Structure 1
Amino acid sequence: MPLTFAAPDADALPLTLIEQDGLDAWLADQPDRVKTWVGASSFSGALGTSLVIPGEDGAPVAALVGYGSEATRARQRFPLAAVATQLPAGAYRIAAGLPADRAETEALGWLLAGYGFSRYRDQTPKVAGLVAPEGVDAARIEVLATAEALTRDLVNTPASDMGPSALEAAARALATDHGASIEVTTGTDLLEKNFPMIHAVGRAATDEPRLIDMRWGDEGPALTLVGKGVCFDTGGLNLKPGSSMGLMKKDMGGSANVLGLAHAIMALGLKLRLRVLIPAVENSVSGASFRPQDILTSRKGLSVEINNTDAEGRLVLADALALADEEKPDLIVSMATLTGAARVAVGPDLAAFFATEDRVADALGRSAGPSADPVWRLPYHAPYEEMIEPGIADLDNAPSGGFAGAITAALFLRRFVTNTSAYAHFDIFSYQLSAAPGRSKGGFGQGGRAILGALPDLLDL
């Protein structure tokens, strides 16, 4: 179903948000029949609870929603979304109790509560309609919800239906929707056009590796998004154990996130020149697989010793980043489900990121809260540079020892961005392990809204 608000002129029931310690104060101004009705219920204002209030004829005339306490709300990204699937069908408008600085976040969460991945069976939740709260840009919030749904759909689709060619098709469909141009380099053409590491990682798969290159906009500052598109990661010849391979359909989460962000940028009509680069591959196993201790020469000319074929994401990103850097855009952002080390450092809920400039990091930090998209900066720690220098080649794709894995991966990628001063790299999980309000189990967007919110500061839009 489309993630949209109810029509403003809908015959909507008033919805009042009640904090856990505010019920008595609200009841003091209500007629006796309402006091009696609420008193006979278990409603207390606890977060995630609701109560429909009938009129004298028994028909619903209003509803109460528990908004908990500041402490309980802090534990949820979208606290109000919990009741979106509880209320009876119909349309509702928020009459009181919603802080102005929470209106956009709660409105977005309500829409996202309506997301369900239904490609293989209908999982669409039954969600009550909501009239956009006063002061909220309804069209913008609907764009953000659609962008998030696109990201989730792409991540949730298994590799049987989301290999490199299907990911290309999804990018082409998005380009068509927004009038963007797109070029794709596939198979051995990657070698001819000097993308050797993308080709090496993907050459063992039956679905050929490719580089997707989409452009949109002809005025304003230049933004290039680079997304890791490893549609399934077996680990290659360094084969993952089964327990680690179970979620590897999501290893193209970086590409899903940049496509979702690209949709938002184009749908909102931002005045910038957008480029999206996605190296789309499957890291598979066959006689053509690249091997441990192979040495690959990258597009940048840097040689890379392969010490683990399961550290393939940085290889395909490196060639794409080198291409991005050749144009010297105003900002490059890469997104990837890159390292388990980032998950150990910040867990699945935070988007770890690295930034070459403090102004970039500061803008992302300011945007994260209002965007309901938490991020956390990790450092480019220069003393660790020697950890990615194996001696036999310029770079090591998988330093031994296991320490600082997220940082060494980010340092590796930074070696391929030498002409562009403003570069941010996001190491994300892009998956919700268990359902929460507004956050269905499965594929999940991370970092995109924080980036979108930071663009006006970073690019003077």
Structure 2
Amino acid sequence: MTSVTVRGVWRDEVPEGNLDARLLDGFTGAIGQSRVEQAAGDVIAVTGLGDRERATAAGLRLSASAAARRIAAALPQHPEAAVSVALTVDAESFASTVDPDAALAAVADGLLAGGYRFRMTGARTFVSDAVPVASGELSGVPGWRRGSALGAAVNTARDLVNLPAAALTPADFARWAKESLEPHGVGVAVRDAEELVANGYGGIIAVGQGADNPPRLLELTVGDASPEYAFVGKGVTFDTGGLSLKSSDALMDMKSDMAGAAAVVAAFALLPALAPGRSFAAVVPLVENMPGPGATRPGDVVTLRDGSTLEILNTDFEGRIILADALARAAELHPRAIVDIASLTYASRHALGDEYAALVSNDDALAAEVVAAGDRSGDRAWRMPLQPELEYQIRSDLADYKNFPGVPHARVSTAALLLSRFVGDIPWAHLDITGPCYRHASDAFGAAGGTGYGVRLLAELVRGA
């Protein structure tokens, strides 16, 4: 077993003027830069930390990710190949003005993120791991333990997003959630299609009725009191667009349309230990959106959980349909606040790219909390307007609402405006994660595929409350 020491280097530690090996290699100490060196028989993965005076926990996490990614990318990719490398950490090299406990948490999290590897071994089987870390004495440090747990939860969300739809139907997802979360002390209730029909979840049924794999609804609980937060995660395990069929290119990544659900479920595994004695809830609709014989037709009208009616004009705008039912259910739980997380609109990615989620909220204080949690965690969000003056774009002539605005403008806002109608007066925040939830190609910080976006943000939101 080869031991590789991960060592951080600040920008001011790279000498200027002297053409040493690092400078010849273009290494300046910037975040995202990494290289492998050998000194006195030791293998060292050097990673840039950026400017010391501007250090943040999120930056340290990225730096650790870059080092681990450098090593992971060099290992054999065959799933049965033995990993003969273990990482150790020069913890002192990461020291800065960042709180030491938070710094260790960030490094532990980052090593797991950068070292993550995923490979399918069959139609429904896979191997997922991360480059091993020999933590030694660090394993007893609270920050290290917290960061390791967070990194593992993020990688769990990535596993779920990376699984092909044939390996993760709504029933598979629900079964996995129950088996994984109940040992952590999370209450898990699974509602099947028959229960959804009987209890008025017309939106979830409408989206799922074209598929051979029927929908499910997950309800998660931690604690016995009224929840501080009710989280809602969009779980479309595959989205063809239904009868409003997507293009062949657009279909390629549609296994990832349940990234919001993956983030909520993975984060819930952390909550009993992260926030003992506190109460939280989650509502997670799980569907396949398929163009089968029973599929909803454009123009159909359905009755939603709260009794309102919705005209479905475009079946590829399915996320807001299932979220309407889920948000209505979340509001019935009377939480202090509701946060939903969903890969909802291409418009959010067009506006903000792959690094920021679009945030829309009906409450300034909650929006500020979400933005701050995103900044601290590295799962960044940018607030966009709710725009009530666009009400005409969600109103139908035949029903209370319609799911398709009819114009290509302000689609982040119009989607959120429709969702806002199902939370009542409860403070609510909507995170559109279409950009940051999926990495279309590997980069300096991690492998291609699901990113686990949202797990860190939700965990930090709870920690900071």
Provide TM-score, normalisation by structure 2.
Answer: 0.84
Provide the residue aligned with 1:18 in structure 2.
9
Between the aligned partners of 1:341 and 1:450, the Cα distance in structure 2 is: 21
Q: CA deviation at 1:450?
A: 2.2
Q: CA RMSD in A?
A: 3.2
- 1:14-413 aligned within 5 A: 16-24=7-15, 45-46=28-29, 47-54=33-40, 59-60=41-42, 63=44, 65-67=46-48, 69-70=50-51, 78-86=62-70, 89=86, 91-96=88-93, 98-101=95-98, 103=103, 104-120=105-121, 122=127, 124=129, 126=131, 129=134, 132=138, 137-219=143-225, 221-413=227-419
Per-residue deviation, 1:270: 3.5
How far apart, in 2, do the equivalents of 1:127 and 1:457 lie? 30
Alignment: residue pair count: 433
Q: Which residue pairs with 1:432 in the alignment? A: 439
Aligned letter for 2:297?
Answer: R
Contact 1:214 1:276 (C-alpha < 8 Å) held by counterparts: yes
Structure 2 alignment gaps of length 5 or more = 72-84
Q: Are the structure 2 counterparts of residues 100 and 52 from structure 1 closer, same or farther at C-alpha, using a change threshold of 3 Å? A: farther
Specify the alignment match of 1:32 in structure 2: none
* C-alpha displacement of 1:43: 8.2
Deviation at 1:366, TM superposition (A): 1.8
Identity %: 30
Q: 1:24 to 1:153 in 2, by over 3 A?
A: same
Please state how far the C-alpha of 1:422 moved relative to its aligned partner: 1.5
2:283 and 2:326 in contact (8 A); partners too: yes
Q: Which amino acid aligns with 1:422?
A: P
Query: Alpha-carbon deviation of 1:410?
Result: 0.5
1:99-124: per-residue Cα shift (whole Å, max 9, x none)? 24282434321221221113426575
Cα deviation, 1:116-139, whole Å, max 9, x if unaligned, reads 113426575646645649986111
Q: 1:90 to 1:200 in 2, by over 3 A?
A: closer
SS of residue matched to 2:243: coil
Q: Confirm or deny: 8 A CA contact 1:159 1:249 kept in the other structure.
A: yes
Larger Rg: 1
Kindly tell me: are residues 437 and 266 of structure 1, through their superposed partners in 2, closer, same or farther at Cα, counting changes over 3 Å?
A: farther
Can you list the C-alpha shifts for 1:329-372, whole angstroms capped at 9, x where unaligned? 11211111111111111112211111221111111222222212
CA 1:81–1:324: 2 relative to 1, 3 Å: closer
Return the offset for 1:297: 1.4
Q: Measured at CA, do residues 395 and 299 of structure 1 come closer, stay the same or move farther in structure 2, by a change above 3 Å?
A: same
Gaps of 5+ in 1: 1-10, 28-34
Tell me if the contact between 1:305 and 1:395 (Cα under 8 Å) persists in the aligned partners: yes
2:80 alignment partner in structure 1: none
TM-score (norm 1): 0.85
Return the alpha-carbon distance in structure 2 between the equivalents of residues 185 and 134 of structure 1: 40
Aligned partners of 1:307 and 1:399 also within 8 Å = no
**What amino acid sits opposite 2:67 in the alignment?**
V
Shift of 1:225: 1.2
Query: Which amino acid counterpart does residue 417 of structure 2 have in structure 1?
Result: L
Distance (whole Å) between structure 2 residues aligned to residue 401 and residue 40 of structure 1: 52
